[in-house]
Amino acid sequence: MQVNESIEDYLEQILIQQEKNGCARSVDIATSLGVTKASVSHATKLLRENDYILMADDKCITLTDSGRAIAESMYQRHRVLARFLMRLGVHEETAFADACRMEHDISAETFSAICRHAEKGWE
């Protein structure tokens, strides 16, 4: 399975829900991503089939190690890019929305450069 932007968004949102609530549930994922429960059901089926998530009998969704690795990478990119944009003067809500789009397409080289710049204290 090729990991695309949609899959990355689902995995990232599962991670966020797990950290926030201790467990990710389809209804919370649907609400957060602004998609239907049917879309979440389809996505979670694909994610389970490709060993990115596990779903317990109580419908609690958890990440496997491979799913968590992708989710953490996306979440880190999201946070770093949003902070970077806010430091440039972008309003917080816009910065997080833009970071969500950027995190999928930005090259590793560019992201590393932003991180290096951030480590210098945003000089």
Do 58 and 88 fall within a single domain? no
Q: With 0-12 CB in 10 A as exposed, 13-18 as middle and 19+ as buried, what is 74?
A: buried
Could you tell me the CATH number of the domain that includes residue 38?
Answer: 1.10.10.10
Do 62 and 23 fall within a single domain? yes
Mean pLDDT of the chain: 88
pLDDT in tens, 63-72: 999 999 999 9
The stretch 88-95 carries a mean pLDDT of: 93
Structural domain boundaries, residue 30: 5-69
Contact 64, 54 (CB under 8 A): yes
Do 9 and 65 fall within a single domain? yes
Contact 80, 115 (CB under 8 A): yes
pLDDT at position 91 is 95
Do 38 and 64 fall within a single domain? yes
Do 63 and 12 fall within a single domain? yes
Do 61 and 16 fall within a single domain? yes
For the chain, how many structural domains are there in total?
2
pLDDT in tens, 49-65: 999 999 988 889 999 99
pLDDT at position 117 is 80
Do 43 and 30 fall within a single domain? yes
Could you tell me the CATH number of the domain that includes residue 82?
Answer: 1.10.60.10
pLDDT in tens, 104-120: 888 889 888 888 887 76
The stretch 12-40 carries a mean pLDDT of: 92
Q: Write the DSSP string, 42-111.
A: HHHHHHHHTTSEEE-TT--EEE-HHHHHHHHHHHHHHHHHHHHHHHTT--HHHHHHHHHHHHHHS-HHHH
* pTM for this model (two decimals): 0.83
Joined together, the tokens standing for residue 45 give 């089926």
pLDDT at position 6 is 86
Joined together, the tokens standing for residue 1 give 């399975």
The stretch 21-39 carries a mean pLDDT of: 91
